[in-house]
Amino acid sequence: MTVTIYHNPRCSKSRQTLALLEEKGAAPKIVDYLKTPPSAAELKAILKKLGLKPQDIVRKGEARYAELELKERTVSDDELIELMVENPILIERPIVVAGGKAAIGRPPETVLTIL
């Protein structure tokens, strides 16, 4: 089974999740999503595996969220996905995908349920 982690090496939860995966014997494909963001289609597929909507994985505390005035305006799911692709800092991290499942590593142990 292929395991992929959408990872931000500057994020402590992301580093902890990666370490946990490696400790459990997984050799995940590491995607530094800030440098290589998922496409809109990839993000939609990840959301489907998570069973979540785009607004569920937006980092509302990020400065970019405020700059884009996302709290003050209504955007469609497709618009929000495009904004996350253009501004990957808005995507919650880390996200681990394994087979047909995905989980957000907050807390890191959450990802063990999909291995």
Active-site residue set: 11
Using alpha carbons only, what angle is made at residue 48 by residues 42 and 110, rounded to the nearest 5 degrees? 100
Rounded Cα distance between 96 and 115, Å, is 10
Q: Which of 115, 60, 111, 108 is nearest to 84 (CA)?
A: 60
